[in-house]
Amino acid sequence: MPENSYARPYDDSPTDHPAIPPASSVVVSGASRGLGLALVQDLLANGVNVAAFARTITPKLRELSAARPQMLLTRSIDITRTDDVVRFLDEANRQFGSLDGLINNAAVGQDSLLVTTSEESIHKIVETNLIATLNLTRLFLRRLFAERRAGRVVMITSICAQRGYPGLAVYAATKGGLESATRALAREYRERLAINCVAPGFFGSEMSASLGQEQLESIARRTPTGKLVDTTDILPVVRSLILEQTNLNGQVLTVDGGASA
């Protein structure tokens, strides 16, 4: 199909368009543990088909797949390897009939001042968190619009994109890039795509653990709710963007217990 057949001209004229239906089959990247795994479990509990991938398939994700093989497809894939991602999306399309939701959760972290971060590390963080994520989104949208369907995308970004934290400059830049892309894509595809960001504050994860217990406790003390964010705080927000009629598009929803207020 020609490249321009996936696009639509920008049109500001008032129209009456039907609401984008809830997603029924959702791709989740970085799904092996932590928030990604929790997102998979929550979607399955709400009757949604899930195509989940990560570099390593953990025993828990494998267990979920064995229990619900008709609803959950899992594969070990590096998001930066485009050919593998394409094959996975094709396989998911065949199993579920179509894909109308995407949650971009895959990311690698950073724990170093910029002056001590190697050029190789900068490239790895940018390639994984920004370039590969935008490429996955592009591939998803091409399939979605080839079928003339509407869909939903959620970018998992970070409070780091909005607030400065030492040692996280490159990581923050990638998440900020996704937030900017989200606003642009919401305007590009308007009524055909509901795309939003969920920006968690620091919560119990492998990446935030690199900050050290003392710094995490300091962040918790400064947070109005008195505690770090938990995955259970994030799940309802993502779920609503994937399954409910929120009339939200191009937005960044911050979930940080009021720490950035």
SS (H, E, C) 94-127: HHHCCCCEEEECCCCCCCCCHHHCCHHHHHHHHH
Calculate mean pLDDT across residues 191-209.
Answer: 80
The Cα 52–Cα 57 span in angstroms is: 9
157: nearest Cα among 121, 124, 197, 206: 197
Domain residues for the domain of 119 are 21-255
Binned at pLDDT 50, 70 and 90, residue 189 comes out as very high
Task: Please indicate, yes or no, if residue 119 is contained in any of the structural domains.
Answer: yes
229 in Cβ contact with 203 (< 8 Å): yes
Distance CA 191, CA 67 (A): 36
Q: 143 lies in a domain?
A: yes
Is 203 a member of any domain? Answer: yes
Asked whether residue 1 is assigned to any structural domain, the reply reads no
Q: Name the residue with tokens 């064995």.
A: 66
Mean pLDDT of the region 122-151: 96
Q: How much is the pTM? A: 0.90
pLDDT mean across residues, the chain:
89
The residues with which 197 forms a beta bridge, in sequence order, are 155, 252
CB atoms near residue 145 (< 10 Å): 19
pLDDT of residue 64: 96
Q: What's the pLDDT score for residue 199? A: 96
Highest mean pLDDT among 17-21, 217-221, 237-241: 237-241
Does residue 211 belong to any structural domain of this protein? yes
The CATH number of residue 99's host domain is 3.40.50.720
> What is residue 42's three-state secondary structure?
helix
Which of 260 and 249 is assigned the larger pLDDT? 249
For the chain, the domain total comes to 1
Helix locations, the chain, DSSP H: 34-45, 59-67, 82-96, 119-126, 132-146, 169-189, 206-209, 213-222, 231-243
Whether residue 186 has pLDDT greater than 90: yes
Separation of CA 62 from chain center: 21
Quick check: 14 pLDDT over 90?
A: no
- 75: in domain: yes
Identify the band that residue 205 occupies on the pLDDT scale cut at 50, 70 and 90.
Answer: low
249 part of a folded domain: yes
Residue 168 domain-assigned (yes or no): yes
pLDDT of 52-86, one tens digit each? Answer: 999 999 999 999 999 999 999 999 999 999 999 99
- To the nearest whole percent, how much of the chain has pLDDT over 90? 72
